[in-house]
Structure 1
Amino acid sequence: MLVVREFEFFESENCIVVFPCEGLGATQGEDLQDAIEFAADWLYWTVIYDMINEKPIEKFELGHEPQHGGIVIPVAVDCSLARVEAFTAAETARILGVSPARVTQMCESGQLTSWKEGSRRMVLKESVDNRLIEQPGPGRPKYDEDEVIDMSPAEYTKFVQDFYDARMRELAAEEDISVVKKSKTPRKKNQSFRQAPVDAVKQELESPQVSLA
């Protein structure tokens, strides 16, 4: 499903600030390219969570005028739950070391993010990763919450992957099978977006008509 939404990009203190032209929310990037990627990522996951929660997908208007002295750029993302990294309920139960019934309870209570794909319940991989970190099982170290928050993005990615790999090795040892990982590293940014040529937009953004400097 292709979703298009316009965002306004304008200069602020050492960054590019991004506001959606309709509704609430904001993000920012170090430069225009970075800001566009974050806008696309923000839009992508907003739509994906609406799909998961079975909410109607909004159809946004185009042709907005700048409200903050910046420029308006339409961003499009192609969203599909079929391409979201996820586990089945049975896989989730094995990874977390709980029963399938417990996984169902956690999904229904909101502790895990899930949706139905036909007759199967799919669980968002990111929510499984977070659950492993928040409540490590017996014999696995309990990490301090502040330690995780203070990590850089690269350190956090490695932390999650190491934790995930350790659990996969435990499962393989317990069942004497090879456990295949669905993803090598957690997603950092969604790259599924279309944009105007960055150089042309950057030149326009830096022009006197739209620059806030």
Structure 2
Amino acid sequence: MSASKSLVVDPFCFRQFSESDTSANYLGTVFDCSIEKFEEIANERYDESNLKDGYAPFCKHIFIENDFTDAQVNVLEITSENEQFLRSRYEARNDKELPVLTRYFPKELVVSDENPLPKAKYLDLILYSREQINKENESMGKEASGEAAPWGIVSIKAQDVDYEIPMTPITAMRNALGKEEGGSGVPLDRESYMEAYKFWNKHATVS
């Protein structure tokens, strides 16, 4: 339990840390620093007044400067030069979720010593309320953790801007599924979905 902390890294996000057994299969940003150290820094920089609204009332964002990790930006604009390297695959974030179709740039095809990915200036910490985390865990048959921190970090995005980059449309669709399928049960918002489409129609992740 972490009653004295405002933020803790939720087990769902452990895959983003190299110390976790699940990081080897994760294709997004993986941090070399320990979960404990990350939580320590995140809590030092936490200010409730800096919380930004997410896609639902239980979701918030907080943006911190990335001056303590080597995390790189992993989103590229699609151009006529690199679109030939786009790939697709079915992917599930864990064994409880349904696989969904995603697209990406294989890192080995678009990144080199001469053309590296830039170091991220900011980290977007995506937070879920303790109440929501408990509801989703219960729906998926997970035992209660007893964690008391009011916010759980469920995802971390390394980026160059201190505002939210739209979630991918397929993530919005997955969230609209019931909690039993790994979603949050929040209905699709057409306006937000179309904003996400405009961004991700021209961008793809690197993994």
Higher helix share: 1
TM-score over 0.5 for the alignment?
Answer: no
TM bracket (short chain): under 0.3
TM-score (normalised: structure 2): 0.24
**Which one has a bigger Cα radius of gyration?**
1
